[in-house]
Amino acid sequence: MHAGRQRRLPRVTALLAILFAIVSVTALAEDRDAQWPMPAGDFANTRFSRLEEVTPANVGSLKLSFSFSTGLLRGHEAAPIVTTDTMYIVTPYPNVLFALALDKPGAPLKWKYEPKPRASSQGVACCDTVNRGAAYDAGRIFFNTLDGQTVAVDANDGHELWRAQLGDITHGESMTMAPLVVKDKVLVGNSGGEFGVRGWLTALDARTGHQVWRAYSTGPDSEVLIGKDFKPFYSQERGTDLGVKSWPGDAWKRGGGTVWGWISYDPGLNLIFYGTANPGPWNPEQRPGDNKWTAGVFARDPDTGAAKWFYQYNPHDSNDYDGVNENVVIDLEIGGRMRKVFAHPDRNGYLYVVDRETGEVLSATPFVNVNTISSIDLKTGRPNRVQDKEPVVGRVIRNMCPHAGGGKDWQPSAWSPITRLLYIPHQNLCQDEEVVPANYIAGTPYVGANVKMHAGEGGHRGLFTAWDVAAGRAVWQIKENFPVWSGALATAGGVVFYGTMEGWFKAVDARTGKLLWQFKAGSGIIGQPISYRGPDGKQYIAVLSGVGGWAGGIVAGNLDARDVSAGNGWGGLMSDLPDNTRQGGMLYVFALP
């Protein structure tokens, strides 16, 4: 009996476990499509929805289901976040969190939460007072405020659970990025690369808000969390305290390398990947050296923050080519075998395919017109820079391509595992630049560059490109008059979505790029489109309109285009935007009738 019991119990347990697994997998699968818990949709940063109700054949009859005004006038870059029956939107400053009831007709407001950040923080936001979205995990909503706080709110009733003051606006720090929640840790980074701040990524305990670790992007190894596990692929990233030694004097203390972009996570390798922003100031003569660990990508253990490897896209960056763009985690067949990689369209105009286990660059191909870098040396990993286009004090360098915003800025691309294409929203822009001595006064801009931008070859300022990552070539491309400053969304139905700065929300065929449907929003679109299955079982597509951001400052900040350097060089370039769109934050949600 004893023995029999012992034999039977495991069998029952096993059966139960299998049953439970089936139930939970089904539940999870359903859950996953009914949710959009983080701006990128998933840890891999694919921005791919598995829903296939909306197809090229029927998208033409897509209709507006409901809309919601945020009542705010600055740039709306956030992605709506969706759990089973609620949609959450975080606005630009003053960073109000709205919760909309998706299970009621018209999705009325359930509640709102106001963190009331300090108004002065608007003065240290380099590129409009944007916020790139919230994140949902285990009944909590997390987001950052412009004045440098991370906040946790109860997802059900909107009451504040905790808040952590991480950034200091008196030193030019702000926060604009969307957190990523990995294993009960909220990962957040700072902004302020144009204010001489020192960049960092911080992990907070999701339950309490207490700091678990912080990894700086400059400074001694102990503060960058570089230890015995650190094994970078290229020799120039090896050595002790390079975050100090690759700078003159104590310039690393105000050297930038902020973390305001995207974080991706590979649960299999237990590694997070995120980029560090430009070194400060822009004037490169004030910081001879490689300026580590700016303008590159870190792989870290999310539990401890320990760095596993680092690769610098732009050593001694002299173009404001931040490394913060998304690293899309995919497995790719290269040379006949499957490789664990990520795809990264960098500001410098090259699309990198990087072995995410080792940090080796497998390929780097220009996806726009680039004349500042002639090629990437795959042996050393270093870019071959074009000397004629190198900024020097006392000389105006003409026609540097891509411009300071890069071949692509923050606006995130989407990957479809079906078409195996990366859909990249980006721009076709160049600039004239003169660097000048920058004066560091804490809390004020630290840039040292006079800039005026112009459209690149062809005169179109924006592009939407479907990129074959394995082959390293564009499959199709759509030219847009204005920079495409919105995110992209790919769906299993075979439709890809993006928005334009005039306010067109577009659906195109994932395979051909053919325009299938468009809707004119009240204001230009720089938000991130998402898709979810509503409580009624239908597929919905949602996006925020509300022009602004760095590219749209001329409208959001009412700049005067007679000064072409307005908005850090965008003024002249975007002087016709105010004739094409006006301010105003509004959520639009669409479905088939």
Residue numbers at the binding site for other proteins (CB under 8 A): 71-73, 93-94, 96, 114, 116, 119-126, 194, 396, 432-434, 436, 439, 441, 443-447, 450-452, 553, 557-568, 571
| DSSP calls for 489-516 | EEETTSEEEEE-TTSEEEEEETTT--EE
* Closest by Cα among 364, 446, 444, 447 to 404: 447
**Given the structure tokens 């285009």, which residue do they identify?**
561
Give least dist CB 289 to other proteins, A.
24
Q: How far is the CB of 582 from other proteins (least distance, A)?
A: 13
Question: Judged by CB, which is closer to other proteins: 69, or 222?
Answer: 69
Map residue 222 onto helix, strand or coil.
helix
Which residues have C-beta within 8 Å of that of residue 173, sequence separation ≥ 6? 124, 148, 167, 190, 191, 192, 195, 197
Buried b (16+ CB within 10 A) or exposed e, 117-151: beeebbebbbbbbbbbbbbbbeebbbbbbbbbbbb
* Distance of closest approach, residue 202 Cβ to other proteins, in angstroms: 24
**Of 174 and 486, which CB lies nearer to other proteins in the complex structure?**
174
Total residue length of the chain: 593
Q: How far is the CB of 120 from other proteins (least distance, A)?
A: 6
Residue closer to other proteins (CB basis): 259 or 451: 451
CB closer to other proteins, 423 vs 446: 446
The arrangement of strands across the sheet holding 63-69 comes to 63-69, 586-591, 539-545, 530-533
Indicate if 320 belongs to the active site: yes
374 vs 444 by CB, closer to other proteins: 444
CB of 75 to other proteins, least distance (A): 13
Q: Residue 438: how many CB atoms within 10 A of its CB? A: 21
- Determine how β-strand 539-545 pairs with β-strand 462-468: unpaired
Catalytic residue among 77, 266, 320, 360: 320
User: What is the rounded CA–CA span in Å between residue 57 and residue 413?
Assistant: 24
Beta strands in 410-557 (DSSP E): 414-416, 421-427, 429-435, 449-455, 462-468, 473-480, 489-491, 495-499, 504-509, 515-520, 530-533, 539-545
Smaller CB distance to other proteins: residue 209 or 445? 445
Buried b (16+ CB within 10 A) or exposed e, 313-328: bbbbbbbbbbbbbbbb
Tell me whether strands 489-491 and 473-480 are parallel, antiparallel or unpaired: unpaired
Containing 568, the helix (H) or strand (E) segment is: helix 566-569
Q: Which of 77, 137, 194, 317 is catalytic?
A: 194
Contacts of 325 (CB under 8 A, 6+ apart): 261, 262, 275, 344, 345, 346, 347, 406, 408, 409, 410, 412
DSSP-assigned letter for residue 79 = B
Beta carbons within 10 angstroms of residue 19's beta carbon = 10
Q: Which two tokens stand for residue 442?
A: 């804490």
CA angle 425, 294, 393 (to 5 degrees): 95
Question: Residues 131, 278, 314, 428: which is the catalytic one?
Answer: 278
- The Cα–Cα gap between 197 and 315 comes to 18
In the sheet that holds 271-275, the strands lie side by side as 263-266, 271-275, 296-300, 307-312
Measured distance CA(525)–CA(515) in Å, rounded: 17
Which of 339/454 has CB closer to other proteins?
A: 454
Neighbours of 290 (CB within 10 A): 23
Dist. CA 100–CA 88, nearest whole Å? 6
**Active-site annotation holds for 223:** no
Residue with Cβ nearer other proteins (113 or 136): 113
194 is an active site residue: yes
Nearer to other proteins, 109 or 119 (CB): 119
User: Which of 349, 571 has the CB closer to other proteins?
Assistant: 571
Beta-bridge mates of residue 331:
340
Q: Which residues are catalytic?
A: 194, 278, 320
